[in-house]
């Protein structure tokens, strides 16, 4: 049987499948995959390992002839029309748990880098501008005694909350459902008004798309720090730019973008924004574990067994 991998993943996943006797074909071309390539994958291969950047909608799935499983190399599955896939008998899987700590660490790193002006300070030093210590030099915002609002308290949100708590910060959260965590659940408006830092950890759904626009930014504290390692389209990027320009948001750290991989040009010129190229899960351990889990899901389905981490409906 044949398995199509839409972008090269760590060798551990490829080796797992090869040792099981599968013919593995990896797309090596740079850039985003074309619809025609995805259609060929669904027509000619028994299984597919896809990326979050691969748009597998109803039009693509309607061309499926042979494929029995699509293993998304991500926790999120907003790139796949799951309902259509399930109706066609195609199993959809994801990679939960194995990237939780890595993504939470990255959110923590972004928060500190943005609020303490780490990237700006690094550039300042490299450019030879450092003339000695000064009481007002590159002062930023600290976490001690501040309130961190977390939007989305799933696995990653909980790991991030645990990390933030170690900095003597008060944590509160907003979620559609109450979670078994030692932090207060508040309504969305309260979180916006009371948080000194806001970090997003929710999936992209029709309800969460453009959850943060000018309306929400105006309700935040002036000088808030805003972090997004969730999904880009949760934020209307042009409104974020305006909030940064006005000072309503003092600093921002972003790992995801509304029109990814394109980034709003004005964001690239701002000293008060830290920009990363969607590397939330980019640790060696997490990426290897994701590869093995995705490969394991493909193998299970093609052997006639239940997938290890099935996705039946859109994630919350």
Model pLDDT, residue 312:
80
Q: Using pLDDT thresholds of 50, 70 and 90, give the confidence band for residue 315.
A: very low
Query: What gap in Å lies between CA 258 and CA 275, rounded to an integer?
Result: 13
**For residue range 216-235, what is the model confidence (pLDDT) as tens digits?**
999 999 999 999 999 999 99
**Residues 6 or more apart from 220 whose CB is under 8 A from it?**
192, 193, 195, 198, 226, 243, 248, 249
200 beta partners: 151, 228
Average pLDDT over residues 66-74: 97
pLDDT tens digits for 161-213? 999 999 999 999 999 999 999 999 999 999 999 999 999 999 999 999 999 99
What one-character-per-residue DSSP string does 30-89 give? SSPPPHHHHHHHHHH-SEEEE-TT--B-HHHHTT-SS--EEEESSS--TTB-HHHHHHTT
Residue 313: the pLDDT is 66
Domains of the chain by start residue, with CATH: 2-98+283-302 (3.40.50.720), 100-275 (3.40.50.720)
* Arithmetic mean of pLDDT over the chain: 96
Q: What is the pLDDT of residues 34-59, one digit of tens each?
A: 999 999 999 999 999 999 999 999 99
Q: pLDDT tens, 261-303?
A: 999 999 999 999 999 999 999 999 999 999 999 999 999 999 9
Is the pLDDT reported for residue 316 higher than 60? no
pLDDT at 153: 97
| Nearest C-alpha neighbor of 273 from the set 162, 118, 49 | 118
Per-residue confidence (pLDDT) for residue 314, from 0 to 100: 46
Q: Nearest-CA neighbor of 159 among 228, 227, 94, 105?
A: 105
**pLDDT confidence of 78, banded at 50, 70, 90?**
very high
Q: Are 96 and 75 in contact (CB under 8 A)?
A: yes
Paired sense of beta strands 147-151 and 69-72, if any: unpaired
Are 195 and 172 a contacting pair, CB within 8 Å? Answer: yes
Query: Which residues are identified as catalytic?
Result: 231, 260, 278
- pLDDT the model gives residue 239: 98
Q: Do the beta carbons of residue 209 and residue 236 sit within 8 Å?
A: no
pLDDT tens by residue, 111-155: 999 999 999 999 999 999 999 999 999 999 999 999 999 999 999
Euclidean distance between CA atoms 291 and 285, whole angstroms: 10
Strands (E), 236-312: 249-254, 273-275
């Amino acid at each position: 049987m044949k398995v199509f991998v839409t972008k090269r993943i760590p060798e551990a996943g490829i080796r797992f499948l090869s040792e099981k006797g599968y013919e593995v074909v990896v797309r090596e071309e740079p850039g985003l995959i074309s619809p025609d390539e995805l259609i060929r994958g669904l027509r000619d291969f028994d299984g597919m390992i896809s990326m979050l950047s691969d748009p597998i909608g109803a039009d693509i799935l309607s061309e499926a002839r042979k494929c029995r499983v699509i293993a998304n190399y991500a926790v999120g599955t907003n790139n796949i029309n799951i309902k259509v896939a399930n109706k066609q008998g195609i199993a959809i899987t994801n990679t939960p748990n194995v990237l939780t700590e890595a993504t939470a660490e990255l959110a923590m790193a972004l928060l500190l880098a943005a609020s303490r002006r780490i990237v700006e300070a690094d550039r300042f030093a490299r450019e030879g501008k450092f003339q000695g210590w000064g009481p007002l030099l590159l002062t930023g915002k600290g976490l001690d005694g501040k309130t961190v609002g977390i939007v989305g308290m799933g696995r990653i949100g909980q790991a991030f909350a645990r990390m933030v708590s170690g900095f003597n910060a008060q944590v509160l959260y907003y979620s559609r459902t109450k979670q078994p965590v030692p932090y207060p659940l508040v309504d969305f408006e309260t979180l916006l008004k009371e948080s000194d830092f806001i970090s997003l950890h929710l999936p992209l759904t029709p309800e969460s798309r453009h959850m943060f626009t000018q309306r929400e930014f105006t309700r935040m504290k002036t000088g808030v720090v805003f972090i997004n390692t969730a999904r880009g389209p949760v934020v209307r990027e042009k409104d974020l730019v305006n909030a940064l320009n006005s000072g309503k948001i003092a600093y921002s750290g972003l790992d995801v973008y509304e029109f990814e991989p394109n980034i709003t040009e004005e964001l690239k010129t701002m000293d008060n924004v830290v920009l990363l190229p969607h590397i939330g899960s980019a640790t060696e351990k997490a990426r290897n574990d994701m590869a093995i889990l995705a490969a394991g899901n493909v193998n299970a389905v093609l052997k006639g067994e239940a997938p290890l981490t099935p996705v039946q409906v859109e994630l919350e």
